Amino acid sequence: MLSGFLGKKIGMTQIYTDDGCLLPITLIQAGPCSVMQIKTVENDGYSSIKLGFDDKKKKNATKQEIGSAAKVSQEPKRFVREVKPDAGADIKLGQSITVDIFTDVKQVDVVGMTKGKGFAGVMKRWNFKGGAQTHGSTRHRPPGSIGSNTDPGRVIRGKKMAGRLGVERVTIKNIDVVKIDKDRNLLFVRGAIPGHKGSYLILNKSRVKRIGK
Amino acid sequence: MNIIDTIEKEQMKKTTPQFSIGDQVDVSVKIVEGDKERIQVFSGVVIARNGGGFKETFTVRRIVQGEGVERVFPIHSPKIADIKVLKSGKVRRAKLYYMRGRTGKGTRLQEKFEKENPKATSEPVTAKKKSEKEKT
């Protein structure tokens, strides 16, 4: 009914499959999300569903947030994003959508913000090799030459250098959904996903099929 | 209690066998071949226990045809049907990694007897003989 959904990373643990294999999994608090607004082609030029996830205290919300939430008799939300509805989906304003929409979904694309690493050098940020650690070398981690001499007389734009690393929007595609816990609104996905614990995520049903597996 | 702890607790076995470092154990592992399920026994000495709670594992070492073989088992794995303690070894370390450098007679551990269990103390000779047979 929806191609996307909102969630929150809880953390990682392990889980045994039915055949006794131990899988690394990330727990995602997926929903329940409220439908805050329905955008239509007639009204807005395109169709989408505005979902809200995780209640926010009214004292921390702006008047605009309180007002638009009150329109659909909801609390203001911390995380609000638009997602595409499937064709012919029956979605009402103020409706609460749960993790049930992932019931038959095998893989999801997870969108999140990566952890901030601060000001990082080129070895960490761009996987430069650096210099030798021993054999009399004192050139351990610097980037080396960043260009030529008089010609061109400048550093080429986009040169990989040290700088801020992380806090970047990243999509990890085709993550296996291992299990769904409908009572607690939990999504168990295989492996790691971007972001720190408690960071918000957009969960899209995978469109591209993985080749091979 | 947070959700991760709850999920881990749900998967934990209610009772796990009591065993400690230096114990000679028989670990029964379920193996699926086609549609059939059978049990294979891996016997050896417990040389380490790692982690805690749901993620706890233990390492069993044995010598197979003169070659040391170690297997790491998660304690709460559903594939582990049973862990049977055959005898306890007297050890002063939590990790018996020094066993890796030993061969032949050096791999034996002095047996530890429970004071409360007079049955075990009554027949130490036979137990020792049996263990030597297994190792060679």
pLDDT tens digits for range B27-52: 999 988 888 889 999 999 999 999 98
pLDDT band at A75 (very low <50, low <70, confident <90, very high): confident
Q: With an 8 Å Cβ cutoff, are A10 and B77 in contact? A: no
Q: Write the burial class of residue B118 (CB in 10 Å: 0-12 exposed, 13-18 middle, 19+ buried).
A: exposed
Fold classification of B3-135 (topology level) = SH3 type barrels. (2.30.30)
Percent with pLDDT over 70 in chain B: 82
Q: Residue A47 and residue B134: Cα distance in Å, rounded?
A: 73
Q: Which residues of B touch A13 (CB under 8 A)?
A: 4, 7-8, 54
**CB contact at 8 A, A122 and A161:** yes
d(CA A182, CA A30): 10
Half-sphere exposure of A169 (CA within 13 A, CB side): 4
What are the pLDDT digits (tens) for B78-92? 889 889 999 888 889
pLDDT, averaged across chain A: 88
Confidence of residue B129 (pLDDT cuts 50, 70, 90): very low
pLDDT attached to residue A96:
87
CA distances from A211 to A173, A174, A190, B19 (A): 12, 10, 17, 46
- Residue A88 DSSP SS3: coil
Give the separation between CA A37 and CA B18, rounded to whole angstroms: 58
pLDDT confidence bin for B136, thresholds 50/70/90: very low
The mean pLDDT value for B44-66 works out to: 91
Q: Which residues of B50-66 are buried (b: 16+ CB within 10 A; e: fewer)?
A: eeeebeebbbbbbbeee
Q: Quick check: A163 pLDDT over 80?
A: yes
Nearest chain A residue to B80 by CA distance is A20
Q: What is the pLDDT of residues A95-149, one digit of tens each?
A: 888 888 888 888 899 999 999 999 999 999 999 999 999 999 999 999 999 989 8
Say what the pLDDT of residue A102 is: 86
Give the pLDDT band of residue B1 (cuts 50, 70, 90): low
Average model confidence (pLDDT) across chain B: 82
Other Cβ atoms closer than 10 A to A51 = 25
Residues of B with CB below 8 A from A20's CB? 30, 77-79
Q: Hey, what are A190's tokens? A: 């295989």
Contact state of A186 with B3 under an 8 Å Cβ cutoff: yes
Query: Cβ contact (<8 Å) for A20 and B55?
Result: no
Per-residue model confidence (pLDDT) at position A156: 92
- Nearby residues of B112 by Cβ (< 8 Å), 6 or more positions away: B22, B88, B89, B90
Best interface-test mutation with B: which of A16, A21, A179, A183 has the largest number of B CBs within 10 A? A16
Residues 3..42 of A with a Cβ closer than 8 Å to B: which?
A: 10-11, 13-16, 19-20, 22, 27, 29
Say what the pTM is. 0.78
Largest CA distance in chain B: 51
User: Residue A213: its pLDDT value, please?
Assistant: 53
| Whether the Cβ atoms of residue A58 and residue A74 lie closer than 8 Å to each other | no
Which pLDDT value is given to residue A105? 85
Q: 147-186 in A: which are within 8 Å (CB) of B?
A: 184, 186
Evaluate if residue A199 carries a pLDDT over 50.
yes
Chain B residues with CB under 8 Å of a chain A CB are 2-4, 7-8, 11, 30, 32, 54-55, 74, 76-79
Q: Is the ipTM of this complex over 0.90?
A: no
User: Structural domain boundaries of chain B?
Assistant: 3-135
- From chain A, pick out residues whose CB is under 8 angstroms from the CB of B8: 13-14
